[in-house]
Amino acid sequence: MKNMTALICLLACATMLTGCNGGKDLEGRDFVMAVGVEEEQNNFILYTSVAKLSSKGEDTGTEEILYEGRGYDIASAFEDMNSKTAGEIYMGHTKALVLDSGFTRYGELMDYIKDNVEMGRDVVVVKSDNVKEIMSAKPNDMTISSYIYKFFEDKDKTDIDDLIDSYNYGSAPDIPKAQIKNESIEFI
């Protein structure tokens, strides 16, 4: 009887150790490294810079693919963008958020970010007069996400937590402005 109980326990444990049931393989995900957000005639335009993976499923670290999505709200813009990508958008590795300098729909953005548990709170936030140009840039032959994140690594920065706190307390966050100058990006 003890042997039968041990066998049942062993089989029960074995069925629980079969891996991520229903999980996504690396190849089934698009790892978003940077997000750009613009407003145009009450619609959102989103740009995502997605890591280009090697044939082994590893981030090459040198290339990102830019996708664009449009929608009446953030969720529909992400849905539009997700329909254009090879895999499912995954925000867990996002390093930078680039907001249009004239962006006003912070409430909707904050609600989406707070509900998106994948996105880390240490994402660096910058603004720009030309989000698409910044998102497409390759300063110093680096990806835009790596360049922004490394630039602010040892400097004061505005991150997602700062943005959420500022919004919640009704204050304006101090967001550095990114602009292209002499084929490089400077922050003011």
pLDDT tens, 159-172?
Answer: 999 998 998 898 88
Is the confidence at residue 2, as pLDDT, over 90? no
Torsion 51-108-42-177 (CA) sign: negative
DSSP 116: -
Q: pLDDT tens for residues 16-33?
A: 444 444 454 556 788 999
What would the mean pLDDT of 82-93 be, rounded to a whole number? Answer: 91
Greatest CA separation found in the chain?
79
Is the confidence at residue 59, as pLDDT, over 60? no
Sequence spans of domains, the chain: 26-187
pLDDT at residue 9, as a whole number: 47
Angstrom distance (rounded) from CA 123 to CA 42: 25
Give the residue, 11 or 87, on which the prediction is more confident: 87
Any idea which residue has 């698409």 for tokens?
132
Q: pLDDT tens for residues 170-180?
A: 888 899 999 99
Give the residue, 115 or 57, on which the prediction is more confident: 115
Non-local CB neighbours of 92 within 8 Å, separated by 6+ positions: 31, 118, 119, 120
Q: Give pTM, 2 decimals.
A: 0.83
Give the residue, 132 or 17, on which the prediction is more confident: 132
pLDDT at residue 114, as a whole number: 85
> DSSP E strands: which ranges in 41-177?
43-53, 59-71, 88-90, 96-100, 124-128
Taking Cα atoms as reference points, which of 26, 30, 25 lies closest to residue 57? 26
pLDDT at residue 7, as a whole number: 44
What would the mean pLDDT of 96-121 be, rounded to a whole number? Answer: 89
> DSSP E strands: which ranges in 54-177?
59-71, 88-90, 96-100, 124-128
Calculate helix-pair angle for 74-82, 106-115, nearest 10 degrees.
60
DSSP 143: -
What would the mean pLDDT of 67-92 be, rounded to a whole number? Answer: 93
Is the confidence at residue 74, as pLDDT, over 80? yes
Angstrom distance (rounded) from CA 181 to CA 4: 74
Name the pLDDT band for 130 (thresholds 50, 70, 90). very high
